[in-house]
Amino acid sequence: MKLFDVYPVNNITITKAQGSYVWDENGVQYLDMYGGHAVISIGHTHPHWVKRIEDQLEKIAFYSNSINIPLQVELAEKLGKVSGKEDYQLFLCNSGAEANENALKLASFHNGKKKIVAFSKSFHGRTSLAVAATDNKNIVAPVNETDNIIFLPFNDEAALQECFEKNGKQISSVIVEGIQGVGGINIANDSFLKLIRTLCDKYNAVYIADSVQCGYGRSGQFFSHDYAGVNADVYTMAKGMGNGFPIGGILIAPHIKPKHGMLGTTFGGNHLACAAALAVLEVIEEENLISMAKQRGMYLINKLKSIDAIKNVRGKGLMIGFDVPEELKDLKKKLLFDHFIFTGEAKPNVIRLLPSLAITRKQVDEFLDALNDTIAAMKEEQKVEA
């Protein structure tokens, strides 16, 4: 049997990882400024995370949600404390798409309505409703197409206002990333998020903060939506939550009431996943990683802004993007194959930086030096060619 070939891969085999570095099968060391797509929050193979998972593995790895799982309660308490959303409720699942799928469904159960407002350049995952609310026709299968999604331009307050005035009675939820990731690092304006809050209150709609990529401390706040000073009704989370151990979840505001059987999953909230997620929160707290992400991010953004060759540097915390001009279009490839640095991208011309929140200043400088060297070398090559 062969693999179903859906991923365009780099021909690199990673066999070891630690902190912000990974190593390939030949022992070549790479700096990871990509975090395996914003997943590595506390650093690869953090010793506390490894130990907590190993210890749990010796006890029990899995049992279904038909029994008491005290680790889930412990996780809910810790998450409430670290996120500052102590009065919220936690539902655990396994991935970002699943978190969004459950959030959209829950909203509809809650208010009995059907329409969902989503925005241009959004990415919410690949399950049925999540993909329908994603602004990319290429990944929406005919069976996922629905009239229930209304797409509006991101950050367009007038369009949002008008849409609610026209369809408010039918709108069940608004789903929005605080900082769009796959869309290319686009920050939602505070006033835009505040307007979503106001309109959701006025029309009894559910504000869903997709925090799968921009959440869990990555932005320098636990949720990037916190910058706007608003509380969403539902926060969806995954990526950084398990530092690579698959786990997702949704935080649900107290006014949304549960009912037995309303949501469910076999694997969600299993013992091993909870142990991994608890280890992540313990390290975030212990190593002060949210404020570290803010500091390192500010330093990195300021340094990037001083590089003339790259454009439109933007982001918050360690969720950063910049535009790469046409003459440097191979920059990402050169960083990887000449300087052994992983970065992320967003089509057509954005480089995305999503390193571990525990990246050190020295590692950030290592990246900046390599970036400056690569740009200088590319410019030199172009001069010679011309």
Ligand X SMILES: Cc1ncc(COP(=O)(O)O)c(C=O)c1O
Among 90, 104, 182, 247, binds ligand X (CB under 6 A): 182
Q: In angstroms, rounded to a whole number, what is the distance separating the alpha carbons of residues 126 and 141?
A: 10
Point out which residues pair with 29 in neighbouring strands: 23
Radius of gyration of the chain (CA): 21
- Distance, in Å, from the CA atom of 375 to the CA atom of 310, rounded to the nearest integer, reads 9
Cα separation, 305 vs 188, whole angstroms: 20
Q: Measured between alpha carbons, how far is 276 from 282 in angstroms, rounded to an integer? A: 10
C-beta of 219 vs 363, nearer to ligand X? 219
Residue number closest to ligand X, CB atom: 96
- Rank residues 83 and 95 by Cβ distance to ligand X and give the closer one: 95
Which of 75, 79, 131, 238 forms a contact with ligand X (CB under 6 A)?
238
Binding to ligand X by residue 244, rule CB under 6 A?
no
Q: Which is nearer to ligand X, 79 or 182 (CB)?
A: 182
In the bound complex, what is the minimum distance in angstroms from residue 67's beta carbon to ligand X? 26
Return the DSSP state at 103. H
Give Dmax (Cα) for the chain: 71
Q: How many CB atoms lie within 10 A of CB 85?
A: 21
Does position 123 interact with ligand X (CB under 6 A)? The reply is yes
Write each residue from 187 to 216 as x if it is in contact with ligand X (CB under 6 A), else as -, in one continuous string. Answer: -----------------------x-xx---
Beta bridge mates, 250: 91, 236
Q: In angstroms, give the least distance from the CB of 118 to ligand X.
A: 11
Nearer to ligand X, 225 or 334 (CB): 225
Q: Which stretch binds ligand X (CB under 6 A): 59-67, 84-92, 117-125, 374-382?
A: 117-125
3-state secondary structure of 162: helix
* Binds ligand X by CB under 6 A, chosen from 35, 43, 96, 217: 96
Q: How many CB atoms lie within 10 A of CB 348?
A: 10
The Cα 83–Cα 224 span in angstroms is 11
| Single residue of 32, 135, 177, 233 touching ligand X by CB under 6 A | 177
- Positions touching ligand X (CB under 6 A) are 95-97, 100, 123-125, 177, 181-182, 210, 212-213, 238
